[in-house]
Structure formats: structure tokens, C-alpha cells
């Protein structure tokens, strides 16, 4: 591997996600050269590419980054998505499903003083929900260490008994042809079930998720409303996508 590609990996180790322009400036080469480097690194299964840049894969094959690491990525964008949901979608009296994930986590502070009941599969969410005095049901089952999500047969059987006014789902990847996908089959089962059992389904993502595919598909892009602060231009006109900032990326 050449030194420039090693430097790209080092930068991704530090920042997790970088834009194409950041890499052009960092490497002091053309955009075309950076794109070729990213293509080679992706072929080696070291990174994920998206339209706006790249993100680092876990150094341990098959493992996901921890929720603590993900929480810092695109924090301001996730906060703006949470604000939009609070102002335009959430209604008093609703019962909602709040999926595990850092974008959904940002919704919790917006639920304080709202008459909203929450069902969640996230151990990570629990303390914040209790701090905000939100009526909460936590699914039972196996706790996945990296994402602190509860998964497994017990969780899916419990979830299948509930009906929701709305669900808010986290997602690892959005591809306009393949659909919505995640790295873990057990998490995909719960996401799919929550969407099926909800009157309205929303998937909350940041811009790094677009143009990506992961192991397990859980929905087509038409089965939920996708909300993001930014996305590549080709996603701006899809009818069920809500893009808050339609700058070209």
C-alpha cells in the first residue's frame, strides 16, 4: 500500500468520517486521485465510500463501531433532525417506538414535558429517558455490546404485540436501489417489525449513510419517510425523503 493511502487510513482512524474535499486538501492531490485511492481501499474492505467522502470500517472484521464513537459523528446535523421531528412530527398522546442509535438518541430531550409513551430496544437510551421522566417500556432480551441494543427472540416476540403511532428508526445505510440496511440481522428483524407495526415510520440518518449498503436489508426506501439534514443531490427529489439542507454534497 502506498504512503498516501496509509495516510488516508490514519486520518480516518482519527476522525472516523471525512469528506472528499478534506481528503483532497489533506493529500494535496486531485479529486480524481483521491477517488481512485478510496476505490482501492474499499476493495481491500478497509473503508466505506459515500458520495461525500469516506468512513472507516472497524479494524475487527464484522464488528461495528461503538455507540459512544458514533455519537460524536455529525452531532449538529443529528440535533437539527431531532428539532425537526419534535416540531413537525411528534404529537402529545402518541405511543412511539424509539430504535437504538445515536440519531434517535437526540430525540429524547425533545420528549420532556410531552405526553408521549416510548418503547425502545436501547439500553443506552434508558437513562436519558428516565432523566426526562418519560413513560418508557424497555424490550427484554440479549444486549448487543457494541450498540447497546436489545435483540433476539424475546425482544421480537414482545415487540410484535405492540402497535405504534410512529416509529423512529436508526439506519447504517441508504441506497436508492437496494433500500435501507444494517450490519446486524437481529437488529434488522426488530427494525422491520417496528415499521410494520407503526402507523407512520421514519428513518433518521446522517449524510454518511447515503449510497451505502450493509449486510441485512430491512426495508425498501418507500416503506418509510427518510429524514436527514443533508444528502447527495440524487436523493433530494425522492418523494418520501425530507432533506433539511439541500446544498449539493
Please give the Cα distance from 114 to 135 (Å, whole number). 10
What is the pLDDT confidence band of residue 61, given thresholds at 50, 70 and 90? very low
pLDDT average, residue stretch 118-140: 97
Q: Spell out the residues 6+ positions from residue 157 whose beta carbon is closer than 8 angstroms to its own.
A: none
Q: Place 42 in a pLDDT band, splitting at 50, 70 and 90.
A: confident
Has residue 175 got a pLDDT over 80? yes
The pLDDT value given to residue 57: 62
Contact 200, 225 (CB under 8 A): yes
Mean pLDDT score across all residues of the chain? 88
* Bigger pLDDT: 193 vs 19: 193
pLDDT for res 85: 97
SS3 at position 72: coil
Can you spell out the DSSP letters for 177-224?
Answer: TTEEEES-HHHHHHHHHHHHTEEEEEEE--GGGBT---SEEEE-TTSS
Q: Which pLDDT does position 225 carry in this prediction?
A: 98
Identify the pLDDT of residue 78: 93
Q: Supply angle C-alpha 176, 95, 183, rounded to 5.
A: 35
More confident residue, 99 or 19: 99
Confidence of residue 62 (pLDDT cuts 50, 70, 90): very low
- Name the pLDDT band for 119 (thresholds 50, 70, 90): very high
Q: Is the pLDDT of residue 202 over 90?
A: yes
Given this model, what pLDDT does residue 180 score? 97
Single out the residue of 26, 76, 61 nearest to residue 228, CA to CA.
Answer: 76
Cβ-based neighbour number of residue 238 at 10 Å: 14
Q: Which residue has the higher pLDDT, 146 or 154?
A: 154
Amino acid at each position: 500500500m502506498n504512503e498516501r493511502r496509509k495516510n488516508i487510513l490514519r486520518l480516518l482512524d482519527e476522525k472516523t468520517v471525512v469528506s472528499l474535499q478534506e481528503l483532497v486538501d489533506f493529500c494535496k492531490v486531485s479529486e480524481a486521485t483521491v477517488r481512485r485511492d478510496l476505490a482501492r481501499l474499499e476493495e481491500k474492505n478497509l473503508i466505506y465510500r459515500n458520495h461525500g467522502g469516506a468512513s472507516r470500517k472497524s479494524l475487527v472484521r464484522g464488528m461495528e463501531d461503538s455507540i459512544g464513537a458514533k455519537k460524536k459523528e455529525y452531532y449538529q446535523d443529528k440535533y437539527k433532525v431531532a428539532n425537526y421531528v419534535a416540531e413537525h412530527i411528534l404529537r402529545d398522546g402518541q405511543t412511539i417506538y424509539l430504535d437504538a442509535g445515536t440519531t434517535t438518541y437526540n430525540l429524547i430531550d425533545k420528549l420532556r414535558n410531552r405526553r408521549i409513551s416510548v418503547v425502545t430496544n436501547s439500553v443506552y437510551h434508558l437513562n436519558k429517558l428516565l432523566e426526562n421522566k418519560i413513560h418508557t417500556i424497555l424490550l427484554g432480551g440479549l444486549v448487543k455490546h457494541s450498540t447497546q441494543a436489545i435483540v433476539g427472540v424475546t425482544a421480537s416476540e414482545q415487540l410484535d404485540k405492540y402497535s405504534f403511532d410512529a416509529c423512529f428508526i436508526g439506519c447504517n445505510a441508504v441506497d436508492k436501489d437496494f433500500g435501507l440496511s444494517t450490519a446486524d440481522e437481529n437488529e434488522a428483524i426488530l427494525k422491520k417489525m417496528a415499521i410494520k407495526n407503526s402507523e407512520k415510520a421514519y428513518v433518521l440518518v446522517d449524510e454518511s449513510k447515503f449510497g451505502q449498503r450493509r449486510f441485512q436489508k430491512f426495508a425498501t426506501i418507500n416503506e418509510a419517510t427518510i429524514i436527514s439534514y443533508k444528502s447527495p443531490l440524487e436523493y433530494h427529489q425522492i418523494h418520501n425523503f425530507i432533506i433539511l439542507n439541500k446544498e449539493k454534497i
